[in-house]
Amino acid sequence: MYTNITYFKVAESDEVWIEELLNKYHRKIFLYCYNILRNIHDAEDATQEVFLRAFKSSSKDKITNSNAWLYKIAYNHCLNKLRRKSIVTFLPFYESDKMAVVNIENDDFELDFIMSKLKPKERALIVLRIIEDKDYTEIASILGISQQTARKRFERVKEKIQKVIERSNTDGE
C-alpha cells in the first residue's frame, strides 16, 4: 500500500500556534468540508490538506482573523477538489459503504436530500450562515465576495430550499 508522507520543519514558536489551531478548528473545518464534499473520506483528506496548507503558508504571520483565513482555505480547497473530480451530482447520504457518516451529526434524511440539491457554493454559504453561525461580513471574507452579495446569495439559496421542500411535499402527497 502506498502512503504519501509529507514532512516539513516547524519552528518551536510555531508548535504552540499549530496545536492551538488544530484544537480549536479541526472539527469545525472537517464538518465544513464534509458539508461541501458530502463524502466522509474526502472531507478527512481535505481537512488534512487545509491544515497542511495553513501550516506551510508564508502569509500566516500577517493573518488577523485565523478563523476566516482557515475557512477560506477550506472553501477554495473543497471547490478545487470538486472541480478535479468533475462531480455534478452528489451521492445520496445513505450508501452501504458510507453508513459511518451518520455519526457525524447529521442523520436527517430530509436535510441531506435538500443539501444534495444545492451546488457546492450554495452548500458552503448555507453551512457558514446556518451551521457555523457566521455573519455576512465574515462569510464575504471567506468566499471572496462583498457583504451585499453574500446576503443576496443567501436569500436566493433560501428561496431555492423552500422550492425543494415544496416540491418534495407535493411529490410525497
In whole numbers, what is the pLDDT of the chain averaged over residues? Answer: 80
pLDDT at 116: 87
Q: Using CA atoms, how far apart are residues 143 and 13, in angstroms rounded to an integer?
A: 30
Residues spanned by the domain of 73 = 14-172
pLDDT given for residue 62 in this prediction: 77
Q: Can you tell me the mean pLDDT for 19-30?
A: 93
pLDDT at 12: 57
Q: Is residue 6 situated within a structural domain?
A: no
Per DSSP, the residues of 47-116 read HHHHHHHHHH-TTGGG-S-HHHHHHHHHHHHHHHHHHHHT--S---S--GGGGGGGGGS---HHHHHHHH
- Asked if the structure places residue 1 within a domain, the reply is no
33 falls within a domain: yes
Residue 2 within a domain: no
Total domains present in the chain: 1
Query: Does the pLDDT of residue 37 top 70, yes or no?
Result: yes
pTM: 0.70
Q: Is residue 7 part of a domain?
A: no
In a domain, 4, yes or no: no
Give the per-residue pLDDT at 7. 46
Task: Write out pLDDT tens, residues 70-96.
Answer: 999 999 999 998 887 754 444 444 343
List pLDDT tens digits, range 134-171: 999 999 999 999 999 999 999 999 999 999 988 888 87
Residue 97 has pLDDT above 60, yes or no: no
Residues of 161-170 as b/e, b for ≥16 C-beta within 10 angstroms? beebeeeeee
Grid cell, residue 86, equals 468533475
pLDDT exceeds cutoff 80 at 100: no
Residue 24 belongs to some domain of the structure = yes
Q: Is the pLDDT of residue 63 over 70?
A: yes
Inside any domain, residue 8: no
pLDDT at 147: 96
